[in-house]
Amino acid sequence: MILREGLACLAFVLIIPAAGGNGGIIFVAAFGFLAAMVFGFEKYKNLVIVSAVLCGVSFTYMIDRDNRFPVNVTANKIYGNYIKDRPDLKVRTDWNTFSKIDVMKDEDKAADGYDIYLAVIDAGNATTNIPNVKSFPLQTKPADASNLAFALKDSAEKVFIIGSAGGGEILTGLYHNAKNITAVEINGILNDLIKRDLSYWTGPLVKDNKRVKLITDDARSVLSSKRITYDVIVSAHTISSSAVSSGAMSMVENYILTKEAVKEYLNHLEKDGILFISRPETQIPKLINTLKQARLENSKGIEDSRKNFIVFRRPPNEFEGSKSFLSGVIYKKNGFTENEIVDVRYEASSLNMEILYDPLSTQQSIYKELAESDKPADIYSATDASVKPATDDKPFFDQNIGFGNLTVQGIKETFSQDDKAILALKDKPVAETTLIAIFIQCILAAGLFILLPLKLFKKEDKSSKAQGEYSSDKKYLFYFACLGFGYIILQIGLVQKFTLFLGQPSITLLTVVSTMLVSSGAGSFFSGKYSEAATKNFILFSE
């Protein structure tokens, strides 16, 4: 059985991309009825007939499955529900093993001249713009925050983009005459869209463009595999695919912004290179501290980084409240000169961005304290959000709350269903609340469907058991509980390490889970034969 489960792990890799998530559920139901037919064929003829009918009915749902068996999303996913209300705007839908991407038209004309398709990931967990590019040379500057990365690096020789998504940062780099752009995106659907499926829309942006090298892989793995230094490295709101697919981002492994990852980025920057990272404003203190710690360790505690930071943000709108969803850090490896700071300020002003901190700033703020402090750990308590850097062993960069600061009010806000609830992915204890809810569900499920049936339906011969001795049921229950616990702990460790090594969460889970199940099944099969042979040899030896 374990061997079959291991082989079954391969099925979702084939079914989900071809049939989608709802189609995958239909296949699971149909195969369940098919299994009932196979196992009941000899003794339960009526069951076989019923199962055959239900199997056929299940497959009929593959016809127009999106309307007959739709994927419903929560009310606080604005884009997912908007597409449902306006199907005339939907261009296409694609699935892979860890995401669903809907492409929709944007009815508004773009002010910068580049109209967009909007790629909506998992019904609204994330979105990215796909620009309409008609021809080269580009006539107008894209209205993108990543222009700040090129304010001092026009005509950059080598540019590396972490998470190129819909191609917005590629467009910005090309506008600034970047000669060689390496764009890495972990979601293959997005790369296929901008390079092939929507090439009529993206034009020469990527297709047949010798200046752009588009790669489907984990950006950190690609970067660390080559000894190449870059003039500009851009990471614009990049999150890992496992984070996107889960929704509860703060407790999902994100190896893009750990301290070790940032050390790699700094090592692959030219001496005067620029690192541009954009994040929600609530995460900027942690980002600054991560950069400082990485710089400190790379330089063995010698180099100072007081003049290396510029912090910006887009002014928050009414929907966002007091903290902007788009802010970030521009980091220059050898520090900014006064003239360069003025140039960045000018560029920010042209993009309607605010500069929250630069080396010429005199206004006190948490950003100034962190950027200029020799001991940022001393001001950890000055902010509600944790600013301790994430590491490869604890890669939870998005975690701002933690269980220590969890409150009943925070849990209630997590379950709110208003228009702003989607922002809770960054500012509220979504993951902590989710883990508590799952823990309670597991206890209830185990109690109702395992322990309670054992208690109600067990038949025990009390005369054969000494007083105080465990029954065989309890021994087996305890044994398999320990076995399962050890199995899961081992899986967690392997998944964590393989995620770092392989990058793709679906490949990681497939590799770890299927390998462990297949190996366990094979081991159980062969060890059973060995045990029988050993028993026979022991009996012969005894005689």
- Cα of 198 vs its chain's centroid, Å: 24
Number of domains in the chain: 4
451 lies in the same domain as 518: no
332 lies in the same domain as 424: no
| Beta-strand pair 158-162/230-236 | parallel
The amino acid at 294? A
423 lies in the same domain as 359: no
- Residue 307 CB contacts under 8 Å (≥ 6 apart), including other chains: 335, 336, 359
476 lies in the same domain as 422: no
- In-domain check, residue 389: yes
509 lies in the same domain as 364: no
- In-domain check, residue 382: yes
Tokens representing 25? 């559920």
248 lies in the same domain as 190: yes
- In-domain check, residue 312: yes
Domain closes at, from 404, 419, 435: 404
pTM: 0.83
Domain closes at, from 29, 53, 71: 71
User: Are 307 and 335 in contact, with CB atoms under 8 Å apart?
Assistant: yes
- Residue 130 CB contacts under 8 Å (≥ 6 apart), including other chains: 103, 116, 117, 118, 119, 166, 167, 193, 194, 198, 201, 202
- In-domain check, residue 41: yes
354 lies in the same domain as 414: no
Element (H, E) at 375: none
- In-domain check, residue 199: yes
489 lies in the same domain as 449: no
Residue 538 belongs to domain spanning: 471-543
Domain containing 379 — which CATH number?
3.40.50.150
231 lies in the same domain as 162: yes
442 lies in the same domain as 414: yes
- Residue 96 CB contacts under 8 Å (≥ 6 apart), including other chains: 16, 17, 187, 188, 189, 506
The CB density around residue 139, as the number of other CB atoms within 10 Å, is 9
What is d(CA 420, CA 318) in angstroms, rounded to the nearest whole number?
10
- In-domain check, residue 129: no
Distances in whole angstroms, Cα of residue 386 to Cα of each of 251, 335, 404, 406: 14, 26, 11, 13
Phi, psi of 353 (to 5 degrees): -105, 155
- In-domain check, residue 175: yes
pLDDT by residue, tens only, the chain of 543 residues: 555 666 666 777 788 888 888 898 999 899 889 988 988 888 888 888 999 999 999 999 999 888 888 888 877 778 888 888 899 999 999 998 888 999 999 999 999 999 999 999 988 888 899 999 999 999 899 999 999 999 998 889 999 999 999 999 999 999 999 999 999 998 999 999 999 999 999 999 999 999 999 999 889 889 988 899 999 999 998 864 444 444 444 445 678 899 999 999 999 999 999 999 999 898 899 999 999 999 989 887 776 788 999 999 999 988 888 889 899 999 999 999 999 999 999 999 999 999 999 999 999 998 999 898 876 665 555 444 468 888 888 877 777 676 777 778 777 777 665 555 555 555 677 777 878 888 899 899 988 887 788 777 766 555 555 555 555 567 777 888 888 888 888 888 888 778 777 766 667 777 788 788 888 878 877 776 666 665 555 454 444
Domain closes at, from 388, 404, 420: 404
**Token pair 């209205």 is at which residue?**
143
230 lies in the same domain as 306: yes
- In-domain check, residue 86: no
202 lies in the same domain as 347: yes
